[in-house]
């Protein structure tokens, strides 16, 4: 079963401490498999990593500790989430940079803050593209095509359909709930995402199985 409940894109964030830190109930469960998955293709690559839709900020702080060869920049369109990310950075004394405001559906590659960290080694996004209109997946892919260096990676974590089929009954029900909440949301198909990625110069690299029928879907810039 996918990581989120079916209502609202951040319905599973809880209030943490009075310093603004929010807590994601699924963080403890997915941080190790996702980190291991990222390391499996990144190896010891250095450079800059940008996370799209960083949510509470717990993941990006953990990545910056476990994958220190990369300099991590979180991003979020939601100001309360950005405050949480920065509170986590402060609390953990994390080397991750200050969160920047990115709406992935917009032309984010041209933002001054992105210009300062591009060309990028990695664009990573977790649990975002199924809880948003497809324009967000398109925006992440378009921006990644413009900002990744040759050999750089784009990775998506979350539930995916494979050749039109859900990878589990829980994901089918989750997808139904998402579409009931918003007809523009829904679990994406690896084939549709790959077709779009390839049209932006990003070649399929790997599809890594994750717990709870999730996947880490990876593309590489040629």
Ligand X SMILES: C[S@@+](CC[C@H](N)C(=O)[O-])C[C@H]1O[C@@H](n2cnc3c(N)ncnc32)[C@H](O)[C@@H]1O
Nearest to ligand X of 142, 164 (CB atom): 142
> How far apart (Å, rounded) are the C-alpha atoms in residues 198 and 49?
21
Print the binding letters for residues 42-81 with ligand X: x by CB under 6 A, - otherwise: ----------xxxx---x----------------xxx--x
The answer to the question of residue 86 lying near ligand X (CB under 6 A) is no
> How far apart (Å, rounded) are the C-alpha atoms in residues 74 and 95?
11
The residue range among 4-12, 145-153, 171-179, 186-194 that interacts with ligand X, by the rule CB under 6 A, is: 4-12
Lookup: tokens for 22: 């929010």
Print the binding letters for residues 87-126 with ligand X: x by CB under 6 A, - otherwise: ---------------xxxx--------------------x
- The answer to whether 89 and 116 are in contact (CB under 8 A) is no
State the residue number with the nearest CB to ligand X: 55
Nearest to ligand X of 127, 171 (CB atom): 127
- Give the count of beta carbons closer than 10 Å to the beta carbon of residue 28: 10
Dihedral angle of Cα 135, 141, 147, 149, to the nearest 10 degrees: 180
Contacts of residue 110, defined as CB under 8 A and 6 or more positions apart, other chains included, come to: none
Query: Which residues lie near ligand X (CB under 6 A)?
Result: 4, 9-10, 24, 52-55, 59, 76-78, 81, 102-105, 126-128, 131-132, 136
């Amino acid at each position: 079963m996918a990581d989120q409940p079916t209502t609202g894109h951040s319905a599973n964030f809880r209030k943490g401490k009075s310093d603004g830190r929010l807590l994601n109930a699924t963080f403890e469960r997915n941080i190790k498999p996702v980190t291991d998955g990222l390391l499996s293709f990144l190896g010891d690559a250095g450079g800059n990593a940008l996370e799209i839709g960083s949510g509470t900020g717990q993941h990006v702080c953990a990545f910056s500790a476990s994958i220190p060869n990369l300099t991590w920049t979180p991003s979020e369109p939601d100001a309360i989430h950005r405050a949480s990310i920065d509170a986590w950075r402060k609390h953990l004394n994390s080397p991750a940079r200050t969160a920047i405001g990115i709406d992935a559906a917009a032309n984010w590659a041209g933002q001054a803050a992105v210009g300062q960290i591009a060309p990028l080694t990695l664009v990573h996004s977790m649990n975002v593209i199924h809880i948003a209109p497809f324009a967000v997946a398109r925006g992440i892919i378009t921006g990644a095509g413009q900002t990744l260096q040759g050999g750089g990676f784009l990775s998506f974590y979350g539930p995916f359909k494979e050749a039109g089929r859900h990878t589990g009954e829980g994901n089918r029900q989750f997808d139904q709930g998402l579409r009931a909440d918003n007809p523009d949301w829904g679990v994406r198909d690896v084939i549709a995402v790959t077709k779009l990625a390839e049209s932006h110069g990003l070649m399929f690299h790997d599809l890594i199985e994750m717990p709870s029928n999730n996947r880490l879907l990876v593309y590489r810039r040629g």
